[in-house]
Amino acid sequence: MLRPDLLIVGAGPAGMSAAIVAARAGLKVVVVDEQPTPGGQIWRGIEANAGTSRGRALGEQYCSGLATVRTFRECGAVYWPSTRVWQVESTLGTYVTGPGGTRVVAPRLVLIATGAQERPAPFRGWTLPGVMTVGAAQILLKNPGSVPSEPVWIAGCGPLALLYAHQLIRMGGVVAGFLDTRPSTPLRETLQLAGRAALRSSRELAKGASWYAELYCRAGRYVPDVVDLQALGTDQLEGVRYRTAAGRVEEIRTSLLLVHEGVLPELHTVRSLGCEIQWDAGQAAYRPVLNEWGECSHPDILIAGDAAGIGGAVAAVHRGRLSALRILQRLGKVAAEPEMTEENCRAALAHALVLRPFLDRVFRPREQVFAPDDDTIVCRCEELRARDLCAALSGSVGSNQLKAFTRAGMGPCQGRQCGLTVAALIAAAEGRHMSEVQPFRVRPPLKPLRLCDLAGLADESRSS
Amino acid sequence: MRAGQATTAVIGGGLHGLACALALVQRGQDVVLFERSWIGRRASSATAAGVRTLWRDPAEISLSLEALERWYRMDALVGDDCGFRAGGQIKVAESHAEMEALAARFAQMRELGFHHEELIDARELRRLAPMISEHCVGGLIARRDGAADPHRTIAAFRRAVEGHGAVIREGIAVMALEPAVGGWRVVTDAGSWTVRHVVNAAGAWGAQVCRMVGEVIQFGYKASMVFVTERVEQAFRPVFSTVGRSLSFKQSSQGTLVVGGGIQGGGDLEKGLTQVDFRALAKGAAAAQELFPAIRNVQIVRAWTGLEGKTPDLLPVIGPSARASGVFHIFGFSGHGFELVPLVGEIVADCITYGRSRYDIGSFDVARLLT
């Protein structure tokens, strides 16, 4: 069994940055990542795309990832691509399956850098073929030849939806229309937050503003203040009906709708270990309870990057480094680079997070995201509607009981798609705050696992 | 019923506690049931839910056959069939030596006068399970056995219990049992209740309740694991186990494959925590795959470990306490209590209400475990 000093889950900005600091300082580091190449979601495919027209169209921040990926490749960390972590025991025994089969790693410390997932935002018809998330569409953009051939409708709220529209337009795609589901923020509050942010981060603000301007000019239609969506069609998306805050209801025809309601920390692994989490009202998401180094309630596990709380790629880099510095400290090592100090990392992290309160406030998801109407499918694996779940909610019933009663969360996505909505339904039914509701207990495996891959482990233990 | 008083207190909101509560209210008693976490939290929802008379200890067979009849009439008992499907249970022989072991068991059953188990050859085995591996040579079948849906069973029993007027108190732990005039004082973390009788249906924690009334018994626990796959096309109906290894394998009515068989994971009774040990579970996966090679690429979506009481002879504890009058036990089913649910609660309810049961429960007397 491999016994590295540090196992890092995820080779995105945080995981790679931590690996570089730790490996260069002489630690034995193993980095496990599901993708075939390093970069995480944000820098997906960067090695292939850098220097190409696609790379340029994806933008400067995307291309900036190349340097980190190259340094990571050379830093001395053992890197296992196309590999899934499907169980982390509380004693840190970590089970992975990849091209080399299934194996168990027993590290001294674990850094979880699993990034973010898109916020599941159920609405009527969201499971129809033809409805997909902006995140999934953006993955396609980063692979060759995947600019949608037809005009695209986007409905959503959050920087990623704007970035995607911007990238799509630059790559020759057409935005047929943008249904902006961002609730309008009181002007005064917006200006205050923007003003504060502008002092330190005017360039980023200007970039965002220019994406909005581009949408106004280039999208076929731009509809603000959309509060409700319904995907229409029987076997395939045929159109979208939407309602605005003013009560106007309209229908458009389309066979492709991209949706996005922001991102959440990916906490499946963290929660499976029973690490303490808390409700972050500002980000409308659960996040792990961490100290300033990314250490959580489990003594030997650290969490960095968007999994620690949404902060974006630059913040992820610095959180990764900070966690690595802490790990070096705990294992009696020092960073190889003199400039890699706690002080520098903290200053850089603070700067990277300047815009965050503004973004969190301006892109706060609309209330309807948490309160799907009766007809909406909440658990898509088991095809359960909000009505079915609410009917089982008599008395004081927690998430785990509701799961037992209805099978919600028992399917292959393991509650990733419905967990937050179920918690919100319970909170609403019982008049409680989200912070008082426990989401589903996470059952292993953390990712679906082929039976033969588990069976392979029996051979391994027999031979060893 | 006033809060704080009842005829009988049931400790433990698993299926056996619920079934006993149901039988008691049907016999006209006031019943309060205390559950430390929530109804069905432990073994009752972690079970693979086999309805099995096959391969039982001879001491249990009569009860188990009677319980099976009740599974066929479950709707009349609790207003739901609990997802019971009678596809049979088969013990598969993977070699001729194993087939001989099955034949010996078959002969033993005939000698004892039981006819529910039947030997089948390779051809009949393949008729019932076309995808089973070529190397399997035959089996022993109980054709009227099957499996049920544990969550539906819990929900149905709970509805029936509450429908008949018993009080279920979840999130309340029993801390002590103290003798009181005419019965017992049940001291909980939310006040005390005075009752005439106490039913100990505390599962893996059954010995702790025994200790509250001065009974110290030999008792352990099991932390049995189960895993379930994504849904696949309906392929077979029986539940399979093997002679030579720890495996039970079935397809649920939802189409998922459920693999269990008593493979042990990690558990901590004091903290109430469990852990899945995938190294151990891998043996179950390997066994399932050797028996059914076609399933090798099916995705496992969930695995879990349930905590269940275990006695040295693997037989349950059923009946009155050896030391404390008015206290009755239903626990320690050692991983095979699910099938007995519709019967045992009634037996104990009869003991409480009428002072005796018409079933012979001598083998399950707690006295055999006293230290």
Show the domains of chain B with their CATH numbers. Answer: 8-47+151-216+313-369 (3.50.50.60), 89-143+220-310 (3.30.9.10)
**B260 reaches A (C-beta below 8 A):** no
Do A14 and A115 contact (CB within 8 A), yes or no? yes
* pLDDT (0 to 100) of residue B103: 98
Separation between Cα atoms, residue A431 and residue A272, nearest integer Å = 27
Q: What is the pLDDT of residue A124?
A: 96
- Residues of chain A within CATH 3.50.50.60 domain(s) are 6-118+264-359, 131-261
Give the 3-state secondary structure of residue A285. Answer: strand
Rounded Cα distance, B22 and B78, in Å: 9
CA A368 to chain centre: 20
pLDDT for B2 equals 45
Given a cut of 70, the residues of chain A with pLDDT beneath it are 145, 395-396, 460-464
Is A302 strand, coil or helix?
strand
- Residue from A125, A122, A149, A124 nearest A137 by CA: A149
Rg over alpha carbons for chain B, rounded to the nearest Å, is 21
- CB distance from B299 to chain A under 8 Å? yes
Chain A residues lying within 8 Å of B299, measured CB to CB: 412, 448-451
Name every chain A residue with its beta carbon within 8 A of the beta carbon of B302. 410, 414, 443-445
Q: DSSP characters for B171-196?
A: T--EEEEEEETTEEEEEEBTEEEEES
Picking from B40, B276, B300, the nearest residue to A404 by CB comes out as B40
A→B interface, C-beta within 8 Å: 87, 89-90, 95, 104, 396, 398, 400-401, 404-405, 407, 410-412, 414, 443-445, 448-452, 454-459, 461
CA–CA gap between residue B268 and residue B307 (Å, rounded) = 9
Helix (H) or strand (E) run with residue A222 in it: strand A221-223
Per-residue pLDDT of chain B (371 residues; tens, 9 = 90+): 445 778 999 999 999 999 999 999 999 999 999 999 999 999 999 999 999 999 999 999 999 999 999 999 999 999 999 999 999 999 999 999 999 999 999 999 999 999 999 999 999 999 999 999 999 999 999 999 999 999 999 999 999 999 999 999 999 999 999 999 989 999 999 999 999 999 999 999 999 999 999 999 999 999 999 999 999 999 899 999 999 999 999 999 989 999 999 999 999 999 989 999 999 999 999 999 999 999 999 999 999 999 999 999 999 999 999 999 999 999 999 999 999 999 999 999 999 999 999 999 999 999 999 99
Parallel, antiparallel, or unpaired: how do β-strands B191-195 and A94-98 relate? unpaired
Residues 34-53 of B with CB under 8 A from A: 38-40, 45
Q: Of the CATH numbers 3.40.50.10470, 1.10.150.20, 3.40.50.300, 3.50.50.60, which one belongs to the domain with range A6-118+264-359? A: 3.50.50.60
User: Which pLDDT value is given to residue A145?
Assistant: 67
Size of interface A-B (CB pairs under 8 A): 91
The token pair at B246 is 């720890």
Alpha-carbon distance of B195 to A313, in angstroms, equals: 63
The model's pTM is: 0.93
Residue B195, token pair as written in the block: 């009752």
Q: Give the pLDDT score at B295.
A: 95
Q: How many CA atoms lie within 13 A of A260 on its CB side?
A: 25
CB burial of B257-287 (b: ≥16 within 10 Å; e: otherwise) equals bbbbbbbebbbebeeeebbbbbbbbbbbbbb
Of 3.30.70.1060, 3.30.230.70, 3.50.50.60, 3.20.20.70, the CATH number of A131-261 is 3.50.50.60
